[in-house]
A and B are shown apart, each in its own frame.
Chain A
Amino acid sequence: MLQDAAAIRLTGVAVRFGNYTAVQDVDIAVRAGEFVGLVGPTGCGKSTLLNVITGLAHPSAGLVEIFGRRLAGTNDKVGYMLQQDGLLPWKTTLDNVAMGLIFQGMKPRQARDRARPWLERVGLARFADRYPHQLSGGMKKRAALAQMLILSPPIVLMDEPFSALDLQTRHLMQNELLRLWQAQGMAVLFITHDLQEAITLSDSVVVMSAGPAGRPLARFPVELARPRDVTEVVLTEQYRRIYGEIWNVLRDEVRRSHARQD
């Protein structure tokens, strides 16, 4: 039973803040181990949806199920990576990565032993004793990834995690994320503005309509071979076809969103 159930299933979810409807009629399912990209224009309520899945916000209507169970309270199956990294400035890289385990009640020494292989996995072994202000933007992202993944969450939510990075570093981090995802096999719901990022990373891409009252308009499977290199996969004919297909839908929503803002 649990095997068949989706990692995340939203059914008819709506979120209202007073008179303002952020999202409505949201039906999204993410299978265990699946990588789903969520794209949409600014203000379509993408981040609101993530907050609903973490249990930080409550849906005004509809059902949130995590591995077949109705979500009550906060969701302990998710790791959540924000746009800005939340590394503790007063902890070294090693301690930052170990922090999740320490918060879980593990002894610091034991937690550090568990964190070391993770530093190696994200290529930060040589920077274990640095403080966040001594790390580059990409290194901080790596540390934040390890900090989240060390708790082995079966579900990972990411809210434009790489948008503040320069293009080259962003591509590096995307490849890094794919590598870790394939090793760990968690379900990922990845929010982005960037259609290219959504396609190159995901198994399928969900397009949201312009807000307010944003809702998923369509879901496109991305059948590009894995493992992928995000900088090379964009050169294929297949990628361009998928991009064109999705952009046809997304374009109108982006225009509508701009029209509303002017």
Chain B
Amino acid sequence: MRVRISVRLTRYAVLLGALGLWELGGRTGAIDPFFFPLPSSIVAQVAEWAATPRIYGDLAITLTETALGFVAGTALGVMLGLWLGLSPFASQVLEPFIKAFNAIPRIVLAPIFALWFGLGLASKVAIVVTLVFFMAFFNTYQGVRDVNPVVLANAKLLRARGGLLLRHVYLPSAAQWILSSLRASIGFAVTGAVVGEYLGSAAGIGHVIAQAEGSFDAVGVFAGLAVLGIFVLLLDAGISVVERRVIVWRPQQEHGGR
């Protein structure tokens, strides 16, 4: 308990110290506030945005793109992961193709998607899907392969077959892998949406940042980044809640749960 408090206090000290030095450097002219705007002016910009409705509209757009792509990409990845995990033949056939697709830097696809799906929602969702899909796929595949052989043998001895075996043995076993992939993919999902917006769009946080950049407004760029950071932290906290709900059966490492 005592350690946790001192960790937390030290964290705040580090944050405030760094921001303080930055602010001091800017005010004394040691660093140029044009390129590195003062933390106080970034906070002021964020506060100003927070008081107007526009930023919430942008956030809602980014959130929609992220969520749609995240859900669709995860669902597709989990389905393919289950299929290949259960079918050694299919996984051997498709392995080189999946590796090849995964090797493509997905961000480079953004202009193509803009061409195919336009500058609206669809192209951003497509980028997010390609980013999230592989995370979900690889983890599901691993999770299915990772089923405890004794548990599997026992379930088969209890005459579990087909769909019931999938539902009660394979899926729960893969669930912990899938959930840990969600944590990593949520960051990817936001990145995909924002990069898509940044490269061409009329709304969203990425668009806000791109506009600020276009008018040499460094304060606006940094403020956009700050908003984005808070946004991802909130999403991550949401995933934690889901994780704790779904995996109730796992031994708790923290707090010595026995």
Contacts and interface: CB of A to CB of B under 8 A. Distances in A.
B155 interface: yes
A151 B159 CA distance: 10
Interface residues of B, number: 25
B151 interface: yes
Contacts of B258: 134
B249 A103 contact: no
A100 B249 contact: no
A131 B249 contact: yes
Nearest to A86: B154
Contacts of B154: 82, 85-87, 144
A150 to B, nearest CB: 9
Contacts of A100: 158-159
A133 B251 contact: yes
B160 A86 contact: no
A196 B155 CA distance: 31
A86 B155 contact: yes
A76 interface: yes
Contacts, number: 66
B251 A103 contact: no
Contact of B161 (A87, A89, A103, A147): A103
Contacts of A102: 164, 168
A200 interface: no
Interface residues of A, number: 27
Given A88-B169, A91-B249, A133-B251, A103 B159 contact: yes
B158 A89 contact: no
A103 B151 contact: no
A89 B157 contact: no
A87 B249 CA distance: 12
A86 B159 contact: no
Contact of A76 (B155, B159, B165): B159
Contacts of B159: 76, 100, 103-104
B172 interface: yes
Nearest to A84: B150
Contact of A88 (B153, B155, B247, B248): B155
A38 B158 CA distance: 23
Interface string A51-80: 000100000000000000000000010011
A206 interface: no
Contact of A86 (B153, B161, B164, B172): B153
A86 B249 contact: no
A204 to B, nearest CB: 25
B157 A88 contact: no
Contacts of B165: 103
A99 B249 contact: no
A147 B151 CA distance: 13
Contacts of A99: 155, 158, 160, 168
A92 B248 CA distance: 10
Contacts of A91: 168, 249
A82 B153 CA distance: 9
B160 to A, nearest CB: 4
A82 B150 contact: yes
A92 B175 CA distance: 17
A80 B155 CA distance: 11
A150 B175 CA distance: 28
Given A131-B249, A133-B249, A133-B251, A103 B160 contact: yes
Given A54-B157, A133-B249, A87 B164 contact: no
Given A86-B151, A90-B247, A151-B158, 14 more contacts: A82-B154, A86-B152, A86-B153, A88-B172, A99-B168, A100-B158, A102-B168, A103-B159, A103-B165, A104-B159, A131-B248, A133-B249, A133-B251, A134-B258
Interface of A: 54, 76, 79-80, 82, 84-92, 99-100, 102-104, 131-134, 144, 147-148, 151
14 contacts: A76-B159, A82-B153, A86-B151, A86-B152, A87-B154, A88-B155, A88-B172, A89-B148, A89-B249, A90-B173, A99-B168, A103-B164, A104-B159, A131-B248
